[in-house]
Structure 1
Amino acid sequence: MEGNATYWSENLRLIFICLAVWFVVSFGFGLLLVEPLNAIRLGGYKLGFWFAQQGSIYTFVGLVFWYTKKMNELDQKYDVEES
């Protein structure tokens, strides 16, 4: 039973990390820091605009793959069977 609680707490930790990173990228870079980031150009576009329009989406997709990899490692660590 203790293994299940540890597994779940590690899963929640991964989810919190994903949400925190996505929040920083989408809200922080896309809204709060947009003016300083707009001084930098990426492919002809202002970096603040890019984060608001594309960066948060790319970050989300990257986080999905990262979370999948980490959960597979966590499943192996706790010997969780796939259904």
Structure 2
Amino acid sequence: MAGAVGADGPGRAVRRRAGLARARLRIYFDGDPLVSGTIEGPIPKSSVKTTQLHDDPADYQARGLQVPYRTLTFDYVLRPVPTAAVAGAVGR
């Protein structure tokens, strides 16, 4: 996705794109000790994602790595900003 991406702490990201509402995402990974709960309360099961381990030496070495790595595929949907709000922001 094209657009600005900013880090907002561990497991968090902010996604922005013109004409779309900003989305704050919190993703927790299986095995993360924070999954059992944070100061903000329990973590919803839907926020805990499973990563895929890539431990084939030929694979990770071909990527310039010396150790196995993990990946995660995650889909999200950004909501459009109402037309009136977009029109009001144009002159700013």
Q: If each structure's helix is expressed as a fraction of its own residues, which one has the higher value?
A: 1
**Does TM-score exceed 0.5, indicating one fold?**
no
TM-score (norm 2): 0.28
TM-score (norm 1): 0.30
Instruction: Select the structure of larger CA radius of gyration.
Output: 2
Q: If each structure's strand is expressed as a fraction of its own residues, which one has the higher value?
A: 2
With CA pairs under 8 Å and 6+ residues apart, which has the higher RCO, 1 or 2? 1
